[in-house]
Chains A and B, each alone.
Chain A
């Protein structure tokens, strides 16, 4: 069985601490020795890891060589000797099990005694030694070491001693240099009784020394626990599974001990969960809490339920999740566990947002009244109990709610900045990622894509270490999306395809990334009019109950695009109507509802009923303006301009488009820009048509308008080309050819027609290529 805390190299550290305390170190050696000791005894904790950064990582299994390397360079106070000599002298002074016991027994003398009745032994010289305060890092280490040694059972202590003998054995070559230690063997008793390795008695006592069984005692229980905690943190908070090789290593470490640590079940649970293995996750969470019951009775119950609820919901069993979370809340209330209660309430709130219809289906009526009341309640509770992570979470949720309901953006900004302040002041580092994602959402809705990208990059580059993996993936997909909008399909795809492999180890993230890649491909296929690819992608990507609403909405949008592009209007109409009804019922995100309106308007235009599109588009525009949803506003303007062009209101259309175009350009969405340009060109064309050709001024104006129109057509064409929108590009080429013919430039017109055919043929070829690749 492993010792709880002490290991052979901890003994060496103890010896070193004793050396440090009891003798003069030359001042040049003090700092290296102290920093070495501290690097070994530093207790684990989020702060220490943060503060120490990446170098000087705690390594529980350093060999004696590390001691040699550090100490050999340092001179002792005695001339001609290194500190290593003194250290080894002390190390080999521990020449029997009894001496080891004495070593630990004498540790108390190193500490500063604050008891008034303590009188130092007359024999010791107080001035020549350093006493450690009980609360200092070294003092704490010394106290812990001596306590742990006292707690050891005899057999465990003996095992520790044997492992210590084994551990220090490599230093024997140094020891032979020291004259006064030349003769001493590993154990003074064995030496006195003249025992050699191979004698019966020696084998009984030190039989395991020569087994070649390395590393049995290299890790104490404490180290193992730390290791598992690391794993749990990775899995639970970051959501990252450890690689297979590392897992194998961990498993072999654990199996050597012959002890089953409870945490290992928890690790297995999270691992199975992340791997999407529902049954073993279930099995393991039960096993973990079964073993926990014996230690801390009922405290764990609500946490078990909470984990269960999250697990169930993750795998789409919302009914069970609801039942579990309700019981969690009830139990937490009963046990007055505020942390758990608040957390579960906040989680429930979150779930209600993410999967409204599923929860409704299973009888969720809302425990905290309306959303707003719920958030206010949670905020108050978090402030009261000073749970800053919950507070910041709630604030961010509030910002999200504000965004979704289309309230003024200032409210959302206020909430986000409050959260940000909290993060900085109270060091709630795990929420940095969330904050960044939220900010980038805000900026993207305001149509400032540059800031969106900057925030995503910040999360990816600076806060990926501390924030959950999911946030990082969201940032990456958002970046990929903006690249896609800008027409860089390949970059976007590459970005997602070559994500860090750690993402691939968790089923949920894997699915997410897979979906976004599919979506980007789908959009591209639609623009390229690659219908077979579209149908196959649409079927593979079809969402199930577990995928969140945002994802399914994006897919729906792509599907409508596809239907419109293929001209399946009635199907598109039905789908739009369904979606609109559903969104209305759910009281869904304002962005989504406006988008639905926009699609409806586009549909009306496509079927040639622009009058009916007008009111819809107008509603979308006004809604977007109210909620500061710039991109939809611009798209709505584009639709409106189309309608106006159709009804002959060219001037109004032109003014509208010109009003938004500069802003829209900043929002690097090539498709949107192209549409706007094309509408502008249309309206100029229309204006040109309205000019009175009789008057020379009219002729001039018409020529001017035509050339303007041609310019905008050209711009639209470039944008369409970048967006890989084949239809758009061809349409623009047709228009150009028409303009050329209008001017009477037949040759140019033919060239354009030729180009048009070329583009068409290229697109066909591309489709064939991808088909063969597929």
Chain B
């Protein structure tokens, strides 16, 4: 069943094992964890042979076949590493004790003062290959000897520690979440220094040095934090070419991709290996692309790693994005059973349970999560979601806030907190929360949509329109978003645009219903063929047509609304009622409109029928009765005449 040959599998294992060690050596704990999880999700070997198998491939396969091992062969690096082994151990222990400055000082003692007080200089848009900038050199020059004296591993550890120290200080300087001083723009003050050193290091390589990819990764991070995304992207691509098993680099890469187009532009430039597959799945998921191709890639990868919780999570999330909640819930539930202590991505699970309204289960999830670790942002989000579902918004906000205190970049908490603020009618706080969410991750359509909604509440429709459009661009097949766009267009008086947006919503809706991509532009006809259309959307389109005085079109859409009561089979004349929506307030409103319209046109007979239907349905009875009286009066008077 596994798509990998024994030899491939053994090699993969060796590489992953090495990745775990290498990441741990560089204190990239999350990446190490990820690699270790993947390593352990490979199918188990035969039971009896396992204890020998685990050991046997290692010694013979790892040294020759892995490219990393080759880089390790680099004599210069080996020499340097051997020379500073003790210092490295010291630095590593400092790092493990979270004494970052001390760790950095082991290798870079005295060469660096804390970063200059000037804000992060915008990186030059020229290629990264360019000579070091004049302004940054004086300090780096001092360090020149230092940085080349150390092995790459040591340098990485030192600089990474420096980066971490900066992050730590940044977090310490941050104000209370959404407090008066909390602007979300506190910079990491170490970035310029690290950037300068790295630039120096890259610009002037000794002949016998072979880059290992780690420093490129760090440089990419620094560039990305400095909002120099293009160079950061390049740096990450270089890094994953040099060392593909550092998941952190892939993750950062995915964060830099804002759209599917960018993803497809990047893909060809990546190395062809299993990691790229996984990256592709991950990036597609992050970009809400749940196409068949992604699914098949995912299934294939899953066959290699049948027990990978990470891949299963991606699968569930893809289902979630495609709005097939049951499947997603099922996968997450299995995950929970198999790994009860795993909290990663449980906030997404809680979102699914929230949408499905499974409150007891959500409560259970929250119970499990908080039993494992109540100070994880994921746990706090789960609990917050639970309280939100119980309409205890203050408590929910408290927990989201706690999640954010634990991790300021925890995206879903920002968005969810925004939702809660909307519920609490605190629009300003809601806008700020959404804004922060968007700042953290521009791909979060819910935050964009939320921003739009909030501005709509504030009656700022043209503003809201922008955000709805962003949301709709991120998820072009979500009718809700298009509907919102259409509504905004209607409000700002761009009726034709509104109608187009609504029609798009219709198409998107039918796309999800039938899972067939319907073509645009074929107008209302195609909508009907796709199954049930949302009568509300149709009604809105009709109203917009009425606004631009296209009464005939309006009437046609009103008829369409009525048609949805019975479902698509109505037109076939087969008689048996299809799966229609039945009588709803919307259809009744449409019916009343039509009745009035027919009455105006003088089609008293049809108007009378419609009024009778209205009376039977028991909605808008008063209006219908009044209209009927008018009709009778007219018919009688015309009869007299």
Give the contacting residue for A205; candidates B368, B374, B392; CB below 8 A.
B368
CB of A201 within 8 A of CB of B337, answer: yes
The CA of A98 and the CA of B359, in the complex, are separated in Å by 7
CB of A158 within 8 A of CB of B340, answer: no
Q: A199 near B: Cβ within 8 Å?
A: yes
CB of A205 within 8 A of CB of B383, answer: no
CB of B363 within 8 A of CB of A97, answer: yes
Q: A203 near B: Cβ within 8 Å?
A: yes
Q: A200 near B: Cβ within 8 Å?
A: yes
CB of B363 within 8 A of CB of A101, answer: yes
Chain A positions within 8 Å of B360 at CB level: 95-99, 188-189
Give the contacting residue for B367; candidates A99, A161, A188, A200; CB below 8 A.
A161
Query: Which B390-412 residues have a C-beta within 8 angstroms of A?
Result: 390, 392, 395, 399
Q: A498 near B: Cβ within 8 Å?
A: no
Q: What sequence of 0s and 1s flags, for each residue 183-208 of chain A, a beta carbon within 8 Å of any chain B beta carbon? A: 00001111011010001110111010
CB of A154 within 8 A of CB of B383, answer: yes
CB of B370 within 8 A of CB of A158, answer: yes
CB of A201 within 8 A of CB of B363, answer: no
The CA of A411 and the CA of B607, in the complex, are separated in Å by 106
* Given A201-B368, A204-B372, A195:B337 Cβ within 8 A: yes
CB of A201 within 8 A of CB of B370, answer: no
Give the contacting residue for A199; candidates B333, B337, B361, B399; CB below 8 A.
B337
The CA of A200 and the CA of B399, in the complex, are separated in Å by 26
Q: How far is the CB of A274 from chain B (nearest CB, A)?
A: 42
CB of A205 within 8 A of CB of B371, answer: yes
Chain A positions within 8 Å of B287 at CB level: none
Q: How far is the CB of A207 from chain B (nearest CB, A)?
A: 7
Number of interface residues of B (CB under 8 A): 27
CB of A96 within 8 A of CB of B363, answer: yes
Query: Which A168-192 residues have a C-beta within 8 angstroms of B?
Result: 187-190, 192
Chain A positions within 8 Å of B359 at CB level: 98
Chain B positions within 8 Å of A205 at CB level: 340, 364, 367-368, 371
Q: What sequence of 0s and 1s flags, for each residue 514-530 of chain B, a beta carbon within 8 Å of any chain A beta carbon? A: 00000000000000000
CB of B337 within 8 A of CB of A204, answer: no
Chain A positions within 8 Å of B362 at CB level: 98
Q: A105 near B: Cβ within 8 Å?
A: yes
CB of B364 within 8 A of CB of A204, answer: no
Chain A: number of interface residues, binned into ranges: 20 to 34
Query: Which A136-192 residues have a C-beta within 8 angstroms of B?
Result: 150, 154-155, 158, 161, 187-190, 192
The CA of A190 and the CA of B371, in the complex, are separated in Å by 15
CB of B340 within 8 A of CB of A204, answer: yes
* Given A158-B367, A158-B370, A187-B364, A201:B340 Cβ within 8 A: yes
Query: Which B43-58 residues have a C-beta within 8 angstroms of A?
Result: none
Give the contacting residue for A96; candidates B364, B372, B374, B399; CB below 8 A.
B364
The CA of A189 and the CA of B365, in the complex, are separated in Å by 9
Instruction: Name the CB-closest residue of B to A151.
Output: B395
Q: How far is the CB of A670 from chain B (nearest CB, A)?
A: 78
CB of B340 within 8 A of CB of A189, answer: no
Q: What sequence of 0s and 1s flags, for each residue 370-397 of chain B, a beta carbon within 8 Å of any chain A beta carbon? A: 1110100000000100110010100100
The CA of A99 and the CA of B390, in the complex, are separated in Å by 11
CB of A154 within 8 A of CB of B399, answer: yes
Give the residue among A97, A187, A192 with the most B Cβ atoms within 10 A.
A97
Chain B positions within 8 Å of A154 at CB level: 366, 370, 374, 383, 386-387, 395, 399
CB of B368 within 8 A of CB of A204, answer: yes
The CA of A155 and the CA of B379, in the complex, are separated in Å by 11
Q: How far is the CB of A101 from chain B (nearest CB, A)?
A: 6
Q: B428 near A: Cβ within 8 Å?
A: no
CB of A204 within 8 A of CB of B341, answer: yes
Chain A positions within 8 Å of B270 at CB level: none
The CA of A651 and the CA of B390, in the complex, are separated in Å by 103
Instruction: Name the CB-closest residue of B to A95.
Output: B360
Query: Which B71-115 residues have a C-beta within 8 angstroms of A?
Result: none
The CA of A199 and the CA of B395, in the complex, are separated in Å by 31
CB of B364 within 8 A of CB of A200, answer: no
* Given A99-B360, A193-B337, A158:B399 Cβ within 8 A: no
Chain B positions within 8 Å of A101 at CB level: 363, 390
Instruction: Name the CB-closest residue of B to A187.
Output: B364
* Given A101-B390, A154-B399, A201-B336, A207:B371 Cβ within 8 A: yes
Residues of B within 8 A of A (CB): 333, 336-341, 359-364, 366-368, 370-372, 374, 383, 386-387, 390, 392, 395, 399
13 contacts between A and B (CB under 8 A): A96-B364, A97-B364, A154-B366, A154-B370, A158-B366, A192-B361, A200-B339, A201-B337, A203-B340, A204-B340, A204-B341, A204-B372, A205-B368
Residues of A within 8 A of B (CB): 95-99, 101, 105, 150, 154-155, 158, 161, 187-190, 192-193, 195, 199-201, 203-205, 207
Going nearest first, the 4 A-B pairs with the smallest beta carbon separation are A189-B364, A201-B340, A98-B363, A98-B360
Beyond the given A98-B363, A200-B341, could you list 14 further A-B residue pairs with CB under 8 A, ordered by the A residue number?
A97-B367, A98-B364, A105-B390, A154-B395, A158-B367, A158-B370, A189-B363, A193-B333, A193-B336, A201-B336, A201-B337, A203-B340, A204-B341, A205-B364
